Structure 1
């Protein structure tokens, strides 16, 4: 593509690089100049105009943006018509956005003229939500650059897709300790119900049991046999060790604990495991709050049928500091001992979370 000033008499067919306004005449940037435009510019004393001229093998900005967007879009993603060198991509259904960082980075390093921006990977999205945008910076790029960008987009499979929600039935076990009010459990279940709503999932089985490994194992076994897709445990006390009540109960029921702890705060004390082929989440105390926390990050991925591995969790540290709760003493700065989610710590024997 050639770019620069050109005498008006030679500008027919070129693209106006900037808007031109003179004596009531208005030509918008990006317009392909016609013979009539040239005549009007000449009549108003305009001698030169800055333009872009496509060369053989060049692809116009809109065509290039649309083509690249199509190469990026995978299942669950739709592409809209381009404008001014931009093509936007939208979620075709509710689910979790799967964005291959390596592919997006590879596209963006092909040439400075090509840019792709997406929402964060694994963000829950709803149908119609914009998930990415492709923008071609100049008025055209070479076909060779476009081809390299499209090859990078397809190298590892679809660079962008939406994993639809698949799991619909959630079973919950809440453990009890003296001092934990039933109203707290009721409120927790209400918060979880709201969390699940965008995915179309719901709580179909709910049990309450003493905070003891044996009792909890029995309820987990019952849940696993009930046909639910996902098991969630709300412990009356935060998990402090792999030998603590919740992980011990999962193993006693014949399940496995894949990982305890995550580099996301709030949410450090989350546990993830498996029982009878079904995912199990040991919810951190912050999951009782409707505010975003690490529990959300894991829950939605599992609801979409995506695997959440030990390595996946350990890779969440950058960006994992979500917020500080200003209404509490600041535990990261020292001070009074607090439970992980801002509740005052109970006696060492109980460590209850009220």
Structure 2
């Protein structure tokens, strides 16, 4: 592509690099320069404009953006119509966004003329939400350059894993001093968290803070109530793998896969399973509606995505979230409150 000042009498058919207004004549940036507008600009006293001229093998910005965006659109993602060198990608369904960062980085590294931006990987998204955008910087790019970016994008498809689990069972353990209203509020907040995913609480149990009670309730929620994901809110935070909540999961025939994670708020979260039903030991901060590490794990599991130890330990960079002021043990220390730290 050639770019620069062009005599007006040679500008017809080229692309205007900048908007120009002279008397009643208006030439808009990025639009093709028509013979009519050339005549009107000349009549207004102009002699040249800055324009772009495509060369053989070049692709216009809209066509280039559209081709790359369609290459990137994976399952559950739609590419929109291109405009001004941009083509946006949208979630076709609610779920969790999956992005191959290495592939996106490779596509962006091909040339400064070609850019791809996405939401963070594993971000919960709603149907119709923009999840990525392709922007071509100049008015055209060489076709060979775009081919290189498209080759890189072959390993960078962006998709949305739809929510699959919908029947949530909840166990709340009780100790003196834990108000029933706190448990009620916790369940309301969880229901609000679940609503955008299409999931709901199918059954809940309130039991003493003891391993045997946790085990019996967990088994009942899964075997009798048909829960396909279980969440356990402890009256006291989990302090060790031998504590009440993990012991109760194991006594019910389940397993503890990981305890603790490098996300704050959310450090004291447990991930496990009973059979093929995921089990989350919720941190105290999950009683708050504010984003915390519980959200990161919950949404992945609801979308049927595994949450492994490797996934959890990778949360650390970016895992320092906004402080929840009412936590009993904020980062800076302070007085205790009703809920346990998490």
Q: CA-to-partner distance for each residue in 1:38-69, whole Å, 9 max, x for gaps? A: 22222222222111010011000001111111
**Residues 27 and 330 of structure 1, relative CA distance in 2, 3 Å threshold:** farther
Structure 2 Cα separation of the partners of residues 173 and 212 of structure 1: 12
Displacement of 1:234 in angstroms is 0.5
- The alpha-carbon distance between structure 1 residues 215 and 93, as it changes in their structure 2 partners (threshold 3 A), is same
Question: Contact (CA 8 Å) 2:290, 2:324: kept in 1 or not?
Answer: no
- Distance, in Å, in 2 between the alignment partners of 1:281 and 1:120 is 23
Deviates more, 1:315-324 or 1:39-48: 39-48
Per the alignment, residue 104 of structure 1 pairs with: 104
Compute the displacement of 1:12 (Å): 1.6
| Alpha-carbon distance between aligned partners in 1 of 2:56 and 2:93, rounded to the nearest angstrom | 40
**Aligned residues of 2:95 and 2:162 also touching (Cα < 8 A):** yes
Deviation at 1:344, TM superposition (A): 6.4
Deviation of 1:336 after TM superposition, in Å, equals 3.6
Q: Is the 8 A contact 2:324 2:330 kept in 1?
A: no
Contact in 1 for aligned 2:328/2:335 (Cα 8 Å): no
Matched residue, 1:274: 273
Any residues of structure 2 matched to 1:82-231 within 5 Å, and which? 82-155=82-155, 158=157, 160-226=158-224, 227-231=226-230
Show the counterpart of 2:38: 38
Q: Which residue of 2 aligns with 1:259?
A: 258
Tell me the distance in 2 between the aligned counterparts of 1:281 and 1:23.
68
Deviation at 1:34, TM superposition (A): 1.8
Partners of 1:262 and 1:101 lie apart in 2 by: 22
| Distance in 2 separating the partners of 1:119 and 1:289 | 24
Aligned to 2:233: 234
Indicate the SS of the match to 1:332: coil
* Map of 2:67 onto structure 1: 67
Residue 106 (structure 1) shift: 1.3
Q: Distance in 2 between matches of 1:328 and 1:307?
A: 29
* Count of residue pairs the alignment pairs up: 340
Does structure 1 retain, via aligned residues, the 8 Å contact 2:249–2:274? yes
Query: Any unmatched runs of 5+ in structure 1?
Result: 346-351
Contact 1:324/1:330, CA 8 A, preserved across alignment: no
Whether contact under 8 Å (2:65, 2:87) holds in the other structure is: yes
Q: In the alignment, is the contact (CA less than 8 A) between 2:100 and 2:155 conserved in 1?
A: no
Say whether the 8 Å CA contact 2:96–2:122 is kept in structure 1: yes
Structure 1 vs Structure 2 CA RMSD = 1.7
Q: How far apart are residue 337 of structure 1 and its match? A: 6.4
Offset of 1:218 from its aligned partner?
1.7
Contact residue 211 and residue 235 of structure 1 kept, 8 A = yes
Deviation of 1:326 (Å): 4.2
SS in 2 for 1:105: helix
Quickly say closer, same or farther: Cα 1:240–1:233, change in 2 above 3 A.
same
CA distance in 2: counterparts of 1:116 and 1:331, whole angstroms: 38
Q: Does 1:52 align with 2:52?
A: yes
Partner secondary structure for residue 267 of structure 1: coil
Corresponding residue for 1:289?
288
On the 8 A contact 2:258/2:270 being kept in 1, the answer is yes
